[in-house]
Amino acid sequence: MKIFKQGQFSRLPDAILFDTDNTLYPYAPPHVAAHHAVREKVTRTFSIEPETFDRAFSEARDQVKNRLKHTAASHSRLLYMQRMLEIIGLGSQVLLALDFEQTYWRTFLSNAVLFDGVKDLLDDLRLLGIPTAIVTDLTAQIQFRKVVYFGLDSYFDYIVTSEEAGFDKPHKAPFQIALEKMRPKGDCIWMIGDNPVTDIGGAREKINAVTLQKIHEGIELGKDPNSPDAAFQEFAEIRQLIFNLRDGA
């Protein structure tokens, strides 16, 4: 672990917020597998070229994101599938849109694997009485499904999605709602996430959190206003930090 602001780590936190996607598990491998499964199914179903699917899906995703920016629905695979079918010229095709969305998430979950040490860290925090919450973008249903799939539903005290909050991070609403639910006894709040803008910069600016950035393949260390107070690669490093703070080391 690299600690950039030693003074931020003088005592145990009063509560810890966690991002989900690409923080508790690597996002890219399940996403690539899921997208490929949908691509194969769509091209086989309609006998179209893969390039036709790629163009239509990319345009559909961009349109949905531009229209619904900074909301949970802007990440909806169901809306992507619906609009993709419309762009191809097939109309909304709601049954197929639902089927393709389920193919995506079924494949995604079957290829998603937690980072080592996540549950061990959460066990440590529970034993120390440190409350925890997930603060995550996307819709509640799929994020709840992920938590249950990973077997984390009994590990976290609370979860806040951007669907519940009405805004994606780095808006203050998701962070603030999490704190309202947790009611920490003090003001030392840690935020653990991968995204330097939404997780690190957002949590520092909106709730004055101590920020810890998860670094792995594809993730660059945040800079300037989005620079973390500490960066780590393995969750075992946070466990050691917690132990050191507990023991006054």
* Gyration radius of the chain over CA positions: 19
**Inter-residue contact 172 to 160 (CB < 8 Å):** no
Amino acid at 26: P
- How far apart, in Å, are the Cα atoms of 72 and each of 67, 162, 167, 201, 218? 12, 5, 7, 20, 23
Residues β-bridged to residue 17: 133, 191
Residues β-bridged to residue 230: 3, 212
Which of these is catalytic: 14, 21, 99, 153?
21
Q: What is the largest CA-CA distance in the chain?
A: 65
Going edge to edge, which strands form the sheet with 189-193? Answer: 2-3, 230-232, 210-214, 189-193, 15-18, 132-136, 158-161
State yes or no: is 168 an active-site residue: no
Which of these is catalytic: 14, 19, 54, 99?
19
State yes or no: is 229 an active-site residue: no
Helix ranges, the chain (H): 28-46, 50-67, 77-88, 94-110, 118-128, 140-149, 162-165, 172-182, 202-207, 235-247
What is the SS3 assignment for 26? coil
Q: Give catalytic residue positions.
A: 19, 21
